[in-house]
Homo-oligomer: A and B are copies of this chain.
Amino acid sequence: MRNAFHDDLDRVSDQLVAMTGMVGTAMKRATEALVNADLGIAESVIAADDDIDQVRRQVDDLSVDLLARQQPVATDLRMVVTAMHMASDIERMGDLARHIAKIARMRYPNRAVPAEVLPHITAMSECAIDLAAKTGEAIDSKDVHAALAIQQADEKMDELHRQIFQALHSERWDHPTETAVDITLLSRYYERFGDHAVAVANRIVYLVTGRYGDPDEGLSR
């Protein structure tokens, strides 16, 4: 039966889905800034992160308000607590997009990424944008299969991350240390973006099935 609690929870869920849209856009534009050495776009991504932080606070406030007014128990209570954890993960995804934009800004007017690494970075970005979209769908549908699709999509991200480290360690790698440092951090940021999407997925799986994954577990490197 629908009631005021579920209407409130829908509002929280809608905010979370909106956040996934915002972090997907942030990641798309951060990568544009990086690939084209575009200072204006980099600055706009960095500034827009405040909006994501703001929505996250709204989710926290709405959730606490909901707990106070509706006093949910059992699964309803778990759903509100889970929503707050998800907001934290998605906000962190926005931070990672901002970190990428900051590297683009730091190297401007140069491009941080050498030409031969560009296809890899673009592939990681596409993977991240896909993960953000899938995360929104899974939150909206609360469907276990949608959540499992996130875990699968993240395997591709992990593979791309491994490949970049292989390239960094290969004999053909011939760039200054500064570039190696930038690429190391960039690849880590994309990979962590994926890890947080997986954390959201694991929370949805737990909510629906009661089976614990490790919501904060991700690939180390």
Contacts and interface: CB of A to CB of B under 8 A. Distances in A.
Given A102-B220, A181-B168, A188-B185, A77 B67 contact: yes
Which are the 4 A-B pairs with shortest beta-carbon distances? Answer: A68-B73, A184-B184, A177-B180, A71-B71
> How many copies of this protein are present in the complex?
2
Contacts of A78: 64
**Which of A74, A95, A99, A221 neighbours the largest number of chain B CB atoms within 10 Å of its CB?**
A221
Contacts of A185: 184, 188, 221
A220 B99 contact: yes
A221 B92 CA distance: 15
Interface of A: 53, 57, 60, 63-64, 67-68, 71, 73-74, 77-78, 81, 84-85, 88, 91-92, 95, 98-99, 102-103, 165, 168-169, 173, 177-178, 180-181, 184-185, 188, 212, 214, 216-217, 220-221
A168 B81 CA distance: 42
A77 B64 contact: yes
Nearest to A76: B68
A103 B165 CA distance: 13
Interface centre among A78, A173, A177 (most CB of B within 10 A): A177
B68 A67 contact: no
A113 to B, nearest CB: 15
A4 B155 CA distance: 46
A95 B60 CA distance: 25
Contact of A181 (B60, B77, B95, B184): B184
Contact of A168 (B77, B95, B103, B177): B177
